[in-house]
């Protein structure tokens, strides 16, 4: 069973629909005990980083820490990926899970002397794919995925794929059983479905 966390941050329904299309049994929940006992957890999200405050209020942050420590597979999508880091300048008062070091920051207004449009919306490529990545099994470098975001996670040691827009940022992060994607796999055609399929089959 995959526990899909509902923290009122958008795109929940489309992610659940994609997982069920792949044959996964899902349970949408705000219950920390359900999260604590799940073998797989998905945290989707579109919108403001401040929405993650509800995770703390519901006791889900600590439940995720315990579940991950016990071996549960975790996948964060969009804001769900950003939450895995220490925080975001979008809501400096909010702390992330802190599983990965670093802060998420807004795209620069100017890059290489030219104005950079933000949010970053549309198709862009996964320019690198780390060898041995379980989440990206069967995904070739250069595969296109769909993004819509104004804040981005830094490139860190656990980055499994890099995308370039206003410089390099983390498109996919993966360390053992904790993973995140900045793009929307449910909107990313065959590449996105392959990523979700890989997660379901872990």
Over the stretch 162-191, which tens digit does the pLDDT of each residue have?
999 999 999 999 999 999 999 999 999 999
Give the pLDDT band of residue 45 (cuts 50, 70, 90). confident
d(CA 181, CA 171): 6
Which of 57, 112, 186, 201 is catalytic? The answer is: 186
| 112 is known as an active-site residue | no
- Per-residue pLDDT at 12 exceeds 80: yes
- Per-residue pLDDT at 125 exceeds 90: yes
Mean pLDDT of 41-51: 92
d(CA 86, CA 188): 27
Which of 99, 120, 149, 184 is catalytic? The answer is: 184
Give the pLDDT band of residue 131 (cuts 50, 70, 90). very high
d(CA 119, CA 121): 6
Which of 25, 57, 78, 86 is catalytic? The answer is: 78
- SS3 per-residue string spanning 29-70: ECCHHHHHHCCEEEECCCCCHHHHHHHHHCCHHHHHHHHHHC
- Per-residue pLDDT at 10 exceeds 80: no
Give the pLDDT band of residue 46 (cuts 50, 70, 90). confident
Least confident of 10-19, 20-29, 130-139, 188-197: 10-19
- pLDDT value of position 88: 98
| 56 is known as an active-site residue | no
Q: What is the DSSP letter of 95?
A: B
| 48 is known as an active-site residue | no
Pick from 202, 195, 182, 191: nearest CA to 38 = 202
**CA torsion sign, 35 to 14 to 101 to 106?**
negative
pTM of the model: 0.96
Give the distance from CA 71 to its chain's centroid.
18
């Amino acid at each position: 069973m995959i526990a899909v966390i509902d923290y009122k941050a958008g795109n929940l329904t489309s992610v659940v629909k994609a997982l069920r299309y792949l044959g996964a049994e899902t349970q949408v929940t705000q219950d920390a005990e359900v999260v604590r006992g799940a073998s797989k957890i998905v945290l989707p999200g579109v919108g403001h980083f401040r929405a993650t405050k509800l995770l703390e209020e519901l006791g889900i942050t600590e439940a995720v820490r315990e579940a991950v420590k016990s071996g549960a597979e975790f996948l964060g999508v969009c804001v769900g990926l950003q939450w895995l880091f220490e925080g975001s300048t979008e809501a400096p008062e909010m702390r992330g899970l802190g599983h990965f070091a670093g802060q998420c920051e807004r795209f620069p207004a100017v890059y290489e002397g030219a104005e950079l449009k933000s949010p970053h919306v549309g198709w862009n490529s996964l320019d690198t794919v780390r060898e041995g990545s379980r989440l990206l099994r069967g995904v070739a470098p250069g595969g296109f995925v769909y993004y819509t975001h104004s804040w981005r996670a830094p490139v860190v040691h656990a980055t499994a794929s890099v995308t370039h827009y206003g410089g390099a940022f983390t498109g996919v992060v993966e360390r053992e059983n904790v993973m995140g994607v900045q793009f929307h796999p449910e909107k990313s055609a065959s590449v996105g479905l392959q990523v979700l399929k890989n997660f379901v089959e872990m």
